[in-house]
Amino acid sequence: MSLPATLPFAHQLVKGVLPPGGWAVDATVGNGHDTLFLARSVGAGGKVHGFDIQREALERAEARLRDNGVAHRVTLHHQGHHRMKEYLPPEWKGKVSAVMFNLGYLPKGDPTVITRPATTLPALSQALEWLSPGGILTAVLYTRHPGGAEEADRVLRYIHELDPRAYRAVQYRFLNRRHAPSLIAVFKPGG
Protein backbone atom coordinates (compact mmCIF):
# COMPACT_ATOMS: atom_id res chain seq x y z
CA MET A 1 0.00 0.00 0.00
CA SER A 2 1.28 3.43 -0.88
CA LEU A 3 0.28 6.33 1.35
CA PRO A 4 -0.33 9.67 -0.36
CA ALA A 5 2.05 12.52 0.36
CA THR A 6 0.63 15.31 2.49
CA LEU A 7 -0.22 17.84 -0.24
CA PRO A 8 -1.90 15.37 -2.61
CA PHE A 9 -3.94 14.09 0.32
CA ALA A 10 -5.06 17.66 1.11
CA HIS A 11 -6.15 18.02 -2.52
CA GLN A 12 -8.02 14.72 -2.33
CA LEU A 13 -9.92 15.85 0.76
CA VAL A 14 -10.79 19.24 -0.74
CA LYS A 15 -11.88 17.66 -4.03
CA GLY A 16 -14.43 15.64 -2.07
CA VAL A 17 -16.29 18.74 -0.84
CA LEU A 18 -15.60 21.51 -3.38
CA PRO A 19 -18.35 21.50 -6.01
CA PRO A 20 -18.10 22.95 -9.51
CA GLY A 21 -19.27 26.54 -9.23
CA GLY A 22 -18.14 26.68 -5.60
CA TRP A 23 -16.16 29.28 -3.72
CA ALA A 24 -12.70 28.64 -2.27
CA VAL A 25 -9.82 30.49 -0.61
CA ASP A 26 -6.08 29.91 -0.85
CA ALA A 27 -4.92 31.61 2.34
CA THR A 28 -1.21 31.25 1.49
CA VAL A 29 -0.75 31.46 -2.29
CA GLY A 30 2.98 30.72 -2.44
CA ASN A 31 3.90 29.40 -5.89
CA GLY A 32 0.23 28.95 -6.78
CA HIS A 33 -0.03 25.16 -6.81
CA ASP A 34 -3.03 25.07 -4.46
CA THR A 35 -4.49 28.15 -6.17
CA LEU A 36 -4.36 26.38 -9.53
CA PHE A 37 -5.87 23.23 -8.02
CA LEU A 38 -8.73 25.26 -6.51
CA ALA A 39 -9.32 27.21 -9.75
CA ARG A 40 -9.57 23.99 -11.73
CA SER A 41 -11.82 22.42 -9.10
CA VAL A 42 -14.38 25.25 -8.98
CA GLY A 43 -14.69 25.23 -12.77
CA ALA A 44 -15.97 27.99 -14.99
CA GLY A 45 -18.77 28.99 -12.62
CA GLY A 46 -16.69 29.16 -9.44
CA LYS A 47 -14.34 31.67 -7.89
CA VAL A 48 -11.18 31.60 -5.78
CA HIS A 49 -9.59 34.32 -3.65
CA GLY A 50 -5.90 34.02 -2.79
CA PHE A 51 -3.75 35.85 -0.24
CA ASP A 52 -0.01 36.33 0.11
CA ILE A 53 2.22 39.01 1.62
CA GLN A 54 4.94 38.56 -1.00
CA ARG A 55 4.61 40.17 -4.40
CA GLU A 56 6.97 37.51 -5.81
CA ALA A 57 4.56 34.76 -4.77
CA LEU A 58 1.61 36.49 -6.40
CA GLU A 59 3.56 37.01 -9.63
CA ARG A 60 4.52 33.32 -9.77
CA ALA A 61 0.96 32.24 -9.05
CA GLU A 62 -0.52 34.63 -11.58
CA ALA A 63 1.80 33.29 -14.29
CA ARG A 64 0.86 29.69 -13.39
CA LEU A 65 -2.86 30.52 -13.51
CA ARG A 66 -2.52 32.40 -16.80
CA ASP A 67 -0.48 29.58 -18.38
CA ASN A 68 -3.30 27.18 -17.45
CA GLY A 69 -6.12 29.42 -18.67
CA VAL A 70 -7.83 29.89 -15.30
CA ALA A 71 -6.59 33.30 -14.13
CA HIS A 72 -10.06 34.80 -14.63
CA ARG A 73 -11.41 32.51 -11.88
CA VAL A 74 -9.01 33.88 -9.25
CA THR A 75 -8.67 37.18 -7.42
CA LEU A 76 -5.25 37.56 -5.81
CA HIS A 77 -4.69 39.88 -2.84
CA HIS A 78 -1.31 41.27 -1.78
CA GLN A 79 -2.38 40.92 1.86
CA GLY A 80 -1.77 38.67 4.82
CA HIS A 81 -4.20 35.82 5.38
CA HIS A 82 -5.25 37.38 8.69
CA ARG A 83 -7.01 40.10 6.66
CA MET A 84 -9.14 37.80 4.50
CA LYS A 85 -12.43 38.94 6.06
CA GLU A 86 -11.69 42.47 4.82
CA TYR A 87 -11.31 41.31 1.21
CA LEU A 88 -13.69 38.41 0.71
CA PRO A 89 -17.08 39.32 -0.77
CA PRO A 90 -19.59 39.70 2.11
CA GLU A 91 -22.00 37.27 0.44
CA TRP A 92 -19.35 34.54 0.79
CA LYS A 93 -19.60 34.45 4.61
CA GLY A 94 -20.70 30.97 5.64
CA LYS A 95 -20.61 29.75 2.02
CA VAL A 96 -16.94 29.00 1.28
CA SER A 97 -16.51 25.30 0.51
CA ALA A 98 -12.74 25.08 1.03
CA VAL A 99 -9.92 27.10 2.57
CA MET A 100 -6.34 25.91 2.14
CA PHE A 101 -3.27 26.96 4.14
CA ASN A 102 0.33 25.95 3.39
CA LEU A 103 2.29 27.31 6.33
CA GLY A 104 6.00 28.09 6.30
CA TYR A 105 7.86 30.10 3.68
CA LEU A 106 7.85 30.60 -0.07
CA PRO A 107 9.89 27.83 -1.74
CA LYS A 108 12.85 29.37 -3.59
CA GLY A 109 11.99 32.68 -1.89
CA ASP A 110 13.31 34.49 1.17
CA PRO A 111 13.31 31.85 3.95
CA THR A 112 13.18 34.55 6.62
CA VAL A 113 9.67 35.60 5.52
CA ILE A 114 7.54 32.97 7.22
CA THR A 115 4.01 32.52 8.44
CA ARG A 116 3.69 33.20 12.15
CA PRO A 117 1.15 32.31 14.85
CA ALA A 118 0.29 36.00 15.39
CA THR A 119 -1.33 36.10 11.94
CA THR A 120 -2.02 32.42 11.28
CA LEU A 121 -4.28 31.86 14.29
CA PRO A 122 -6.58 34.82 13.47
CA ALA A 123 -6.62 33.66 9.83
CA LEU A 124 -7.69 30.15 10.85
CA SER A 125 -10.45 31.62 13.00
CA GLN A 126 -11.70 33.80 10.14
CA ALA A 127 -11.55 30.92 7.70
CA LEU A 128 -13.75 28.79 9.95
CA GLU A 129 -16.29 31.64 10.19
CA TRP A 130 -16.50 31.82 6.39
CA LEU A 131 -16.67 28.06 5.88
CA SER A 132 -19.96 26.59 4.66
CA PRO A 133 -21.67 23.63 6.33
CA GLY A 134 -20.03 20.62 4.69
CA GLY A 135 -16.89 22.66 3.98
CA ILE A 136 -13.27 21.95 4.80
CA LEU A 137 -10.21 23.85 6.00
CA THR A 138 -6.81 22.27 5.37
CA ALA A 139 -3.48 23.39 6.78
CA VAL A 140 -0.14 21.83 5.88
CA LEU A 141 2.33 22.34 8.74
CA TYR A 142 6.06 22.46 8.07
CA THR A 143 8.46 22.21 11.01
CA ARG A 144 11.96 22.07 9.51
CA HIS A 145 12.51 25.85 9.22
CA PRO A 146 13.18 28.19 12.18
CA GLY A 147 9.82 29.05 13.74
CA GLY A 148 7.99 26.19 12.01
CA ALA A 149 7.77 23.82 14.99
CA GLU A 150 6.52 26.61 17.24
CA GLU A 151 3.85 27.63 14.73
CA ALA A 152 2.76 24.01 14.23
CA ASP A 153 2.47 23.58 18.00
CA ARG A 154 0.30 26.72 18.32
CA VAL A 155 -1.91 25.65 15.40
CA LEU A 156 -2.39 22.19 16.89
CA ARG A 157 -3.32 23.67 20.27
CA TYR A 158 -5.84 25.97 18.55
CA ILE A 159 -7.38 23.06 16.63
CA HIS A 160 -7.59 20.89 19.79
CA GLU A 161 -9.68 23.63 21.44
CA LEU A 162 -12.32 23.78 18.68
CA ASP A 163 -15.84 22.85 19.76
CA PRO A 164 -16.31 19.21 18.68
CA ARG A 165 -20.04 19.87 18.12
CA ALA A 166 -19.18 22.52 15.50
CA TYR A 167 -16.09 20.99 13.82
CA ARG A 168 -14.44 17.64 13.15
CA ALA A 169 -10.64 17.86 13.07
CA VAL A 170 -8.08 15.26 12.01
CA GLN A 171 -4.31 15.19 11.62
CA TYR A 172 -2.45 13.20 8.97
CA ARG A 173 1.28 12.71 9.45
CA PHE A 174 4.07 10.24 9.02
CA LEU A 175 5.16 9.11 12.48
CA ASN A 176 8.57 7.78 11.46
CA ARG A 177 9.76 10.82 9.46
CA ARG A 178 10.97 13.46 11.86
CA HIS A 179 10.38 16.69 9.91
CA ALA A 180 7.82 15.52 7.37
CA PRO A 181 4.98 18.00 6.92
CA SER A 182 1.68 17.11 8.53
CA LEU A 183 -1.84 17.93 7.46
CA ILE A 184 -4.66 19.28 9.57
CA ALA A 185 -8.16 19.00 8.12
CA VAL A 186 -11.13 20.64 9.80
CA PHE A 187 -14.58 19.69 8.55
CA LYS A 188 -17.68 21.73 9.31
CA PRO A 189 -20.59 19.27 9.62
CA GLY A 190 -23.76 19.82 7.63
CA GLY A 191 -24.41 20.65 4.04
DSSP track, the chain: --PPPHHHHHHHHHHTT--TT-EEEESS-TTSHHHHHHHHHH-TT-EEEEE-S-HHHHHHHHHHHHHTT-GGGEEEESS-GGGHHHHS-GGGTT-EEEEEEE-SB-TTS-TT-B--HHHHHHHHHHHHHHEEEEEEEEEEE--SSTTHHHHHHHHHHHHHTS-TTT-EEEEE--TTSTT--EEEEEE----
- What is the spatial distance between Cα 41 and Cα 56, in angstroms, rounded to a whole number? 24
Confidence class of residue 4 from pLDDT cuts 50, 70 and 90? low
Fold of the 6-187 domain: Rossmann fold (3.40.50)
pLDDT in tens, 10-26: 999 999 999 999 999 99
Mean pLDDT of 75-100: 97
What is the model's pLDDT at position 145? 81
pLDDT of residue 49: 98
**Above 80 in pLDDT, residue 177?**
no
pLDDT digit string (tens) for 127-158? 999 999 999 999 999 888 888 889 999 999 99
pLDDT at 55: 95
